[in-house]
Structure formats: C-alpha cells, structure tokens
Structure 1
Amino acid sequence: MAVAQGVESAADEQGEEVTLFVARRVDPGHEESFESWAAGILGAAADHPGNLGTGLLRPAAAGDPWHLLLHFRDAEAFRAWQASPARAACFARVDGHHVEVARRELHGMEGWFATTPTGARRTPPARWKMAVASTVAIAPLTLTANLLLTPHLAGLPVVLRTLLLAPLISTLMTYLALPAVTRLLRRWLFPA
C-alpha cells in the first residue's frame, strides 16, 4: 500500500484551508473492519493540531468507494499531518482489504463543494461559481437572521451578537443552505 505524500501548491502562500478528499474501495464483507480503521485515522486526524474537522461518507451503492474527508487550517498543518507518526501508525494497521482509488487536495471553498454527493464525483467548480453559489446560499440566511433574530438581540453588544449569530448561520450554511443550492445549481456548477 503506497502512502501518498503531501503536495505543495499555490495555496501554501495564501494560507488557505486544505481539505483532503480520499476515496477507498473496500472488499465486500470487510466494511465493518474498514469503518473501525477509518474511525481510528479520522480520530487521530481530529486530534492533530490545525485540524478543522473530519468526515466519512458511506458509499451511495454497493461496490462504490467510501470517502474520507480531512480538513486542515492551512497547508502547513496538512503537511504536518501527512508526516505525523499518528498517521503512519494508522497506515501500519491497514489490513489489505481496502485500497485508495482516488485522492484530491482541495483548497479554500473547494472543500465545501466536494462534500456534496454531486461534488464528490466531479472536479470542483470555478472559484467565481463557488462565490456565486455561496452568496445564493448565505443571503437568505443572513436576511432571515437580521429580520427574525437581530431585533431580539439588539440589546447585546455587537461582538456578542455576532458570536451568537455566526455559528448559527455557519451551521445552517454547511448543513442546509449550501447542499440545497448545490443541488439546485448542480448542472451549472458541474457541467457534464
């Protein structure tokens, strides 16, 4: 089993977030042991300095690959994870019943779009398209928050108000609005 090395890119200079998106094909009957291994490597990555989150996407159909997502603060944190003893220890426990079939290193907003079912199978859209789609997703959330929540929070200092609204809007953006907009605009974002 070859372990891919980190790749330097233009994002190194920009300090952009890095999302590693790895597809692994699992031999039939070994899904449970793979899930255990995946939980181990994702847990180790989550404990690594600079990690912003991990995820496991199960296959859409039998025989399709599983997808692991590892999200890092920047290219430096990503490279440190790639070279870490914790990562090496996880790969030392690979049982030979799953193999990497694809790997993509995504920078900035590309990682958000890769976590949708359509985005997982395609090249990320152009950055300007991602900006348009993100605006379409976040505008209704911001407007709704300003109309419904801000009047009730008007007595709070602006910093505290922002600290209350930001995680709410971010969560709704990640789990509700962006997946819906990506589905709605999929043909425009990911042309055939």
Structure 2
Amino acid sequence: MTAVSPEHASVPTDRGEVTLLIARRVEPGHEAAFERWAKGILESAASFPGHLGYGLFRSSGGDAPWFLVHRFRDAEACRAWQESPERAAWFADCDGHYHTEIARRQLTGMETWFAKPGSTRPAPPRWKMTISATLAIYPISVAGSLLLLPHLTALPLLLSSAVVACVFNVLMTYVTMPAVSRLLRDWLTP
C-alpha cells in the first residue's frame, strides 16, 4: 500500500486561522521513510505565505496513527497550500513509504479550544461552543468589572481597553476555556 493524496477537503470560508490536523497510518517497518517524507512536506508547506507553523507527532505505537499539523493565517492560505504543485509533487514521490491518510480535520476559531488532543472527532455544534464560551467569559467579566476596571479609570479609553482585552484574552485562553471545556466535555461531545 502506498500513500494516496486525499481529495481536497473543503476549506472553511471564514477569515480566521485554520489548523489542519491529518492522521496517517504507517505500516510497520516503514516509519523512518515516512518520517523523512513527513518532515519534507511540512517544511515545504512552511515556505508558503500565510503558513504559521507545523508539528509532527509520532505514533504512540501499535496501530495508532501519526499526526501532521499545519497552522495557516486563513482559509485562503490553507487552500493555496492544498492546491499547490509543491504539495502534489510530495504525494507523487512517496512510493515505498506505505502510509495512508485515515482522518483529517480543519479547525477554525473556537473549535481549537474544544479539540481533544490526538482526536479527529468533529467539533461540537456552534451553539454548544457559544454557550460554553459565554460561561467562560461571564466570570472574567464580573471579576474584571469589580477588580480591574476601577484601577484603570485614570487611563485613556484606548489604553484601558487594551489592558482589559489582554487580561481577558489570557484568562480565557489559559484558565476559563480549558476549565469549561473540561467540565462540559461529556455534554459537548457525547
């Protein structure tokens, strides 16, 4: 069995960042050839405008897949890579690597907060993500109004708004969203 270039999955049309997660199964004994190929295709993608970074996650053993991750500035940058002759050339030159794509996910915006590492399950419906985000934002808003805003009244509006946005963003990303998505995991993705 040799690698097969998948049909181009539809790329989201929103203008935010796109994370492309690809799971590939590699036949035993062909891991080194696959790893060289994977590093090459990831580095090739990194040279494209709008590519923000990549990762390669080795199989945990047995039948577990390898994961390739690309981050793009937006859907157009992702589409440009997926439709590029460079990408097609990597798939045309992979005989003897014995790997097959088994899953692909494209995550945009808030979906990345709800993606379980190593999983290719679809994100929860947007209405569930909205409720979860509201539950995460609410305590930050209340605490910010009581504890932070009174200390920012002497600052110009643009500066105080920038401080509030930075603090809220850090708290959302590292504290409340991880906690809410953990607490609601069974409800979000039953």
Cα distance between partner residues in 1 of 2:56 and 2:143: 31
1:45-60 alignment, distance < 5 Å: 45-56=45-56
The residue type equivalent to 1:3 in the other structure is: S
Q: Does 1:110 align with 2:111?
A: yes
- Corresponding residue SS for 2:24: strand
1:134-153 alignment, distance < 5 Å: 134-153=133-152
Greater Cα shift, 37-46 or 180-189:
37-46
Cα distance between partner residues in 1 of 2:52 and 2:90: 19
Of the two, which has the highest radius of gyration? Answer: 2
Report what 2:189 is aligned to.
190
The residue type equivalent to 1:4 in the other structure is: P
Report what 1:166 is aligned to.
165
Q: Does 1:100 align with 2:85?
A: no
Greater Cα shift, 82-91 or 95-104:
82-91
Q: Is the 8 A contact 1:6 1:78 kept in 2?
A: no
1:1-192 alignment, distance < 5 Å: 1-8=3-10, 11-12=12-13, 14-15=14-15, 17-27=17-27, 38=38, 41-56=41-56, 63-88=63-88, 91=91, 96=97, 98-114=99-115, 116-117=116-117, 120-191=119-190
**RMSD (CA atoms):** 3.7
Kindly state the Cα deviation for residue 99 of structure 1 after the two structures are TM-superposed.
3.3
Cα distance between partner residues in 2 of 1:153 and 1:36: 53
Cα distance between partner residues in 1 of 2:64 and 2:167: 34
Q: Is the 8 A contact 1:5 1:82 kept in 2?
A: no
- Corresponding residue SS for 1:117: coil
The residue type equivalent to 1:101 in the other structure is: I
The change in CA–CA distance for 1:160 and 1:188 in structure 2 (over 3 A counts) is: same
The residue type equivalent to 2:103 in the other structure is: A
TM-score (normalizing by structure 2): 0.69
The change in CA–CA distance for 1:168 and 1:128 in structure 2 (over 3 A counts) is: same
The residue type equivalent to 1:117 in the other structure is: P
Kindly state the Cα deviation for residue 153 of structure 1 after the two structures are TM-superposed.
4.2
Greater Cα shift, 55-64 or 122-131:
55-64
Cα distance between partner residues in 1 of 2:152 and 2:102: 49
Greater Cα shift, 174-183 or 37-46:
37-46
The change in CA–CA distance for 1:150 and 1:33 in structure 2 (over 3 A counts) is: farther
- Corresponding residue SS for 1:81: helix
> What are the ranges of 5 or more consecutive residues in structure 1 without an aligned counterpart?
none
The number of residue pairs the alignment matches comes to 187
Cα distance between partner residues in 2 of 1:73 and 1:60: 29
TM-score (normalizing by structure 1): 0.69
